[in-house]
Amino acid sequence: MDICDVRCIDEEKVKKTHQSLPSDENINRMVEIFKALSDPTRLKIVLSLLNREHCVCDIAVLCGQSDSAVSHQLRILRTLKIVKNRREGKIMYYSINDDHVVSLIQMSLAHVTHG
Amino acid sequence: MDICDVRCIDEEKVKKTHQSLPSDENINRMVEIFKALSDPTRLKIVLSLLNREHCVCDIAVLCGQSDSAVSHQLRILRTLKIVKNRREGKIMYYSINDDHVVSLIQMSLAHVTHG
DNA sequence: TTATCATTTGAACAAATGTTCATATATAAA
DNA sequence: TTTATATATGAACATTTGTTCAAATGATAA
């Protein structure tokens, strides 16, 4: 951080806070997780997979979206390793691949439901 | 949910999952929280305010953004009751207003840093 | 009052995003 | 092989989003 030629009200506080900040790399990783959950369709997909695996067209029914739209979103979630898939014949089953995301969701759910 | 005239591979599983889903209203509330944290500038703002309050221009320095850009983002965070502000003369100090968001962030931070 | 500082706001623009549609795989059954 | 089913993919489109810039507040000091 370069605060030399920049207006800065409380330089000491800024320095301390700056030291406490995660690296940009880690901030970006956090952003990716939050971004993944910040779309209604994707969040509903993850919520749907919280307890059990589902195939793509059942997820589409649960989300009220087309198979194609869901498939696009599943690819995003797959890329982020939030979900994984296994094939059984013609059917592709998706399930949660990241326990931590489950915790995040349960915490935010608790927040909006009671408190 | 209307699954009458829709293809549905495993109707029983879909029904169970459907019952376990939060209401659309609560899903949207969760989305709003995640969306708020899914932008690098906003996340950095919230991270900067995790331990202490800061004024707008110090937050701008910490985020490497213009005062104006930060002010716009602060308004979004304020509307969502994630941050609050207090005036001291010409200076406006912002701080965290939602303990639960702190928990969410700490959890995601733990996830990206170790494991 | 005037001048200056800290912040806010509105409009405009560029960039990112999600869905749709059409098409392409992949697998199974006929 | 041909046909049908389940899913995936690419391009296009509309919408949303974040930043910039200029101008407007609100507050203090001269």
The C-alpha of B80 sits at a distance from chain A's nearest C-alpha, in angstroms, of 13
**Strand D nucleotides below 7 A of a protein CB?**
5-11, 17-23, 26-28
Instruction: Compare all CA atoms of chain A with the CA of B55 and give the residue at the minimum distance.
Output: A9
* Best mutation target, B12, B34, B57, to test chain A (most A CBs within 10 A): B34
pLDDT in tens, chain B (115 residues): 444 445 788 999 999 999 999 999 999 999 999 999 999 999 999 999 999 999 999 999 999 999 999 999 999 999 999 999 999 999 999 999 999 999 999 999 988 887 6
* Confidence (pTM): 0.92
Q: Quickly list DSSP for B60-89.
A: HHHHTS-HHHHHHHHHHHHHTTSEEEEEET
User: How distant is C1' of C24 from CA of A111, in Å?
Assistant: 43
d(CA A49, CA A41) in angstroms, rounded, equals: 12
d(CA A15, CA A24) in angstroms, rounded, equals: 16
B88 CA to centre of own chain:
26
DSSP annotation of A84 reads E
What is the tens place of the pLDDT at every residue in B78-92?
A: 999 999 999 999 999
Q: What is the mean pLDDT of residues A8-17?
A: 94
User: Between vectors from CA A72 to CA A57 and to CA A70, what angle results, nearest 5°?
Assistant: 30
